[in-house]
Amino acid sequence: MWWWLATPVSLRHAPIDPAQKLDCVSYAPFRGAQSPLNSTLQISAEQIAADLKQLATVTGCVRTYSVDNGLDQVPALAQKAGLKV
């Protein structure tokens, strides 16, 4: 019985019209070994700007839940990318 409960279930992709965008998405800039648990880590403005540029193609808004690790740069960089925060 336990193996059945742990069996992966295939989910269909949400039917999003390519001409539409998502209302808003949560954003966390951490890649690879980067961790929000590392208090000395500062994500570069270049990395955040690249992420936001890519996100701007699918949404008009991002939200964050912190200002640590360089996330304090998000509002200014999001504005440049045409995103609301």
Q: Tell me the CA distances in angstroms from 9 to 3, 12, 46, one per residue in order.
A: 13, 10, 37
**8 Å CB contact between 52 and 78:** yes
Q: What's the whole-model pTM score?
A: 0.78
pLDDT at residue 37, rounded to an integer = 94
| Contact (CB, 8 A) for 43 and 68 | no
Encode pLDDT of 35-52 as tens digits.
999 999 999 999 999 999
The predicted pLDDT at position 57 comes to: 92
**25-26 and 62-63 as β-strands: parallel, antiparallel, unpaired?**
parallel
Low-confidence ranges of the chain (pLDDT < 70): 1-5, 11-16
pLDDT at 21: 87
- Rounded CA separation 56/84 (Å): 10
